[in-house]
Amino acid sequence: MSKATQTYRIMISGGGTGGHIYPALAIANAWKEKYPSSEILFVGAEGKMEMQKVPEAGYKIEGFKVAGLQRSLSLSNLSFPFKLLGSLRRAKQLIREFKPDAVVGVGGYASGPVLYMAQSNSIPTLIQEQNSYAGLTNKILAKKARKICVAYPGMEKFFPATKIIYTGNPVRKDILDLSGKREKALAHFGLKQDRKTILVLGGSLGARTINQAVVAEMEAFEKSGYQVLWQSGKFYFQEMSAKVQASGLAHIHVREFIREMDLAYAAADAIVSRAGALSVSEISLVGKPTIFIPSPNVAEDHQTKNAMAYVQAGAAVLLKDVEAVGKLKAAVDGLFSQGEKAQEMGKNLKKLAKPNAATEIVSALESILS
């Protein structure tokens, strides 16, 4: 039987943020490219962004009510056991109906119950851990997972070494090659050839601190001959757009969301970004001088740990969230003034890149099916 006619039923669970969803879609696309007759079912959490993004990408998704345990004292924790039992029952039902040959967990609220029920039914499971610091759920599930695909070296401190495959995080194909796209990118975003471009990314929903830091410095950026391509995020776009319009500045380009990320990266001379797993993986492939401003509001402070792995390799600069407002301009000036050192930083970023992550994860998934 040729690969084109081989049929597998693959379930991919998880989501909640773009950092979980886009790698999951990249894995699905790579699998379908190799086994086009396969059926793929995504499982996500109701009300989360995967319920929109996955169907837009052409895949079927089932959602269920699931929530995480709050780390702070919260009344919502009282309902957690009941939600967990409900999500386990729903996961069991979906597995019984879909009958997957294998289940992939990419992290997020839906991932835990689905992988747990798959393992309880002796269905092969694969974990894709995007961060440099593994969460509690994945550490528990790792005991029965067949393979664990990781994005950082040194993950033996969390998972059994014999199960680990260092694949990197899968990213969108269009980012893998930016050559020849700069002129098109500048024209697309209305940017000037004679100004250095700062690309500012705070995630699809936005990052308040980063947005405040840009507002505080945008006049100084423009006076210094810079231009800013700024993804402010869904929650902050109207407010930030109004501030830019009121300022009368001509070279601060604010967008709610940037879909053409290959062009955004091609236009950039420097990047300012949160340090979510997907952002870090994409930026390492791009190889542009980067300032990471890790979010302090994530589990186990994993964004700082993600960023530090790159800082220690001489591949990026870290600016603490509490210092971003008031120090962002100086950090950007520092990057641009370093010349050869900044270029070296970009080369070090590319050394950490894993451009074949999706195909390597597909190979790992094949190995647990055989």
Residue 74 included in any domain: yes
Shared domain check, 164 and 44: yes
What tokens appear for 317 in the block? 């600069």
Q: Which residue intervals of 142-199 are DSSP H helices?
A: 182-189
Residue 1 included in any domain: no
Shared domain check, 189 and 155: no
**Residues 6 or more apart from 23 whose CB is under 8 A from it?**
106, 128, 130, 169, 170, 171, 277, 278, 357
Report pLDDT digits (tens) over 232-252: 998 999 999 999 999 999 999
| Amino acid present at 124 | P
Q: Which residue has the higher pLDDT, 276 or 147?
A: 147
What are 272's strand-pairing partners?
200, 291
Shared domain check, 311 and 214: yes
Shared domain check, 308 and 208: yes
Residue 3 included in any domain: no
Shared domain check, 303 and 208: yes
Residue 4 included in any domain: no
Shared domain check, 91 and 239: no
Residue 97 included in any domain: yes
What share of the chain in percent tops pLDDT 70? Answer: 94
First to last CA, the chain: 15
State the pLDDT at residue 16.
Answer: 83
Which residues constitute the domain of residue 320?
174-351
State the pLDDT at residue 30.
Answer: 96
Residues 284 and 350: beta-carbon distance below 8 Å: yes
Shared domain check, 122 and 92: yes
Shared domain check, 33 and 164: yes
Report pLDDT digits (tens) over 317-339: 999 999 999 999 999 999 999 88
Shared domain check, 326 and 231: yes
CA distance 368 to 25: 20
Report pLDDT digits (tens) over 109-124: 889 999 999 999 999 9
Shared domain check, 266 and 131: no
Binding positions are: 17-19, 131, 172, 204, 258, 277-282, 303
Residue 186 included in any domain: yes
State the pLDDT at residue 98.
Answer: 98
Residue 57 included in any domain: yes
Q: Provide the number of structural domains found in the chain.
A: 2
3-class SS at 196? strand
**Residues 6 or more apart from 185 whose CB is under 8 A from it?**
191, 260, 263, 264, 266, 267
Shared domain check, 347 and 364: no
For the segment 22-45, the average pLDDT, to the nearest whole number, is 95
| pLDDT over 80 at 77, yes or no | no
Res. 78 pLDDT band, cuts 50 70 90:
low
Helix (H) / strand (E) containing 107: none
| pLDDT over 80 at 188, yes or no | yes
Res. 67 pLDDT band, cuts 50 70 90:
low
Q: Which residue has the higher pLDDT, 108 or 249?
A: 249
For the segment 345-352, the average pLDDT, to the nearest whole number, is 93
| pLDDT over 80 at 162, yes or no | yes
Report pLDDT digits (tens) over 287-314: 999 999 999 988 778 899 999 999 999 9
3-class SS at 165? strand
Binding positions for UDP-N-acetyl-alpha-D-glucosamine are: 17-19, 131, 172, 204, 258, 277-282, 303
What is the average pLDDT score of the chain? Answer: 91
Shared domain check, 45 and 76: yes
Q: In what order do the strands lie in the sheet with 317-318?
A: 252-255, 226-231, 196-201, 270-273, 290-292, 317-318
- Which domain CATH number covers 346? 3.40.50.2000
pTM of the model: 0.86
Using alpha carbons, list the distances in angstroms from residue 106 to 72, 151, 299, 327, 339.
25, 12, 16, 35, 38
For tokens 């500048």, the residue is 186
| Amino acid present at 213 | A
